[in-house]
Amino acid sequence: MKGNYNIFYTPEEQYPGMPHGEMCGDFMPFFWKGTFYLFYLYKYCVYVVETKDFVSFEAPSLVLQNGSPEDQDWHIGTGSVFEHDGLFYFHYTGFCEGNAGDDERNEQVIMRAVSRDLKTWEKDKSFFFRPDTRFYGNLHWRDPHVFWNEELQKFCMLITAEERDGILLHSGCTAVYVSEDVRSWEHYKTLYAPRTYITHECHDCFQIGDKWYLTFSNYSRWWETRYRIADQFDGPWRVPAVDDMFDGREFYAAKSVTDGKKRYMVGWESIRENCSDRGRHVWGGNLLVHELVQREDGRLGVKLPDTIEQSFEKMLPIEMIPRRGAFLKDEDRLIGEVPDGFGWCELGKLKDTCMFHTIISWEEGTDTAGLMIHTAPDMKKWCQLRLEIGRGRILMDRYNRVDGDQLYQDERPITFKNNSAEVRLVVSGNIMLAYVDDVALVSRCYEIGTGDIGIFVEYGKVCCTQIQLMEQ
């Protein structure tokens, strides 16, 4: 397998017409003795790749082989790994599409494998957890997430389920089963059923300080990973104000992992069909990891993991070349003033993989500021990270969104503070990952090769400090 083994991991290089099975997704992270084990779905099986820093990765290995079309695990789906009394348990989903509509069999069943070394796994044929139709519907029954619940003093299993008599396409819910010995499981409750989504996929649940967080993904609107907050495990679960996502609509199936000090959200950044800017988003893509930041009010933000940021050690040259508007260098500051519209200043050449950093501050009344990415000097091709100050949002725009709105803009809400924002941008191939303060936005642009990095302003005045362009 020849893939990307640096930062945005994938076991296969992407190419137009890439078949669905060649993509990886639904990372199931587990930390053990200094190593992150990232289990993931690939070719309808489960593989694992090891990393200590989310920067470099070992060669992947097969964990669970899927069965035949007659087997319940004809396709293997998402699950979770945990350790108990020296044994590792992997609860996963067994998909058999041929069972759909058969009252005697099930399309989705929760299954289990065990291991003593995280490398060799044996399927436990005695464990076969069918949909519990006493409480739930008979279709969605997958993505088991098992963890030790300190509050209940029991093991909990979160399950993607549907209300038994729910509203069509709005019956997604989170079922919880509990166990004291991980062998027998009993129904505890429906933890969350907002009557909003088709399903709540790829759950996770964890504590930071005195707050509980429930995370899940949903595909009925966008590819999206959302979260809820509670003061105790039993809820009630609240929708966080302003923003309940960790990234934009291309960050999916994220589950958390902690090394005991920091907690990370590990998901995937989707690709577009045929690797084209005009293609629809499809399942699977590249690994994308955010470090969680708990804000003072309990809401969650994210940041670039320190290990990734520290991997960019080599400084690249910065050369200020004004292209439009009035820009000047004042000691270590770049000042740009364009009161009548758009202007930009080129700062350097992007490498295939590199990181740009700056702090942008703006004069009161400034409309928009941000970064020019992969930009040609004549602006025949470009991308923008836009900080739309008055609108309270950041978004990615690109040159080829013309003659209609074929290409939607990736965007996030943000609350700007003190007329200033710290901006980090990591680019790798067609991936553009931006952090504006503690808000992330990832996007892709397939039709532009590597270009220039710069600063722009629209209808206002900006000052940029701590400008750095780095490669590994």
Q: Which helix (H) or strand (E) holds 458?
A: strand 452-471
Half-sphere exposure of 455 (CA within 13 A, CB side): 35
Label residue 404 by pLDDT band (50, 70, 90).
low
Label residue 407 by pLDDT band (50, 70, 90).
low
- Non-local CB neighbours of 229 within 8 Å, separated by 6+ positions: 211, 212, 213, 237, 238, 240, 298, 299
The answer to whether residue 408 scores a pLDDT higher than 80 is: no
215: how many CB neighbours lie within 10 A of its CB? Answer: 24
Q: For residue range 102-121, what is the model confidence (pLDDT) as tens digits?
A: 878 899 999 999 999 999 99
The answer to whether residue 403 scores a pLDDT higher than 80 is: no
In the three-class reduction of DSSP (H, G, I as helix; E, B as strand; rest coil), residue 231 is classed as: coil
Please state whether the predicted TM-score (pTM) of the whole model is above 0.85: yes
Q: How confident is the model over 202-209, as a mean pLDDT?
A: 97
Give the rounded percent of residues in the chain with a pLDDT score beyond 90. 85
Label residue 1 by pLDDT band (50, 70, 90).
very low
Region of poorest pLDDT, from 127-141, 261-275, 398-412 = 398-412
The answer to whether residue 65 scores a pLDDT higher than 70 is: yes
Beta strands, E only, 85-235: 87-95, 108-115, 121-123, 142-149, 154-162, 172-179, 186-192, 201-208, 211-218, 224-230
- Distance in angstroms between the alpha carbons of the first and the last residue of the chain: 24
Place of tokens 């629809």: 280
- Tokens coding 425: 């941008």
Q: What is the pLDDT of residue 406?
A: 57
Q: How confident is the model over 49-54, as a mean pLDDT?
A: 98
Per the document, the length of the chain is 472
**CA–CA dist 97, 106 (Å, integer):** 9
Q: What is the pLDDT of residue 223?
A: 82
User: What does DSSP say about strands 368-375 and 452-471: parallel, antiparallel, or unpaired?
Assistant: antiparallel
Q: How confident is the model over 21-31, as a mean pLDDT?
A: 92
Average pLDDT, the chain: 94
Beta bridge partners of 425: 356, 434
Q: What is the pLDDT of residue 13?
A: 85
The answer to whether residue 180 scores a pLDDT higher than 50 is: yes
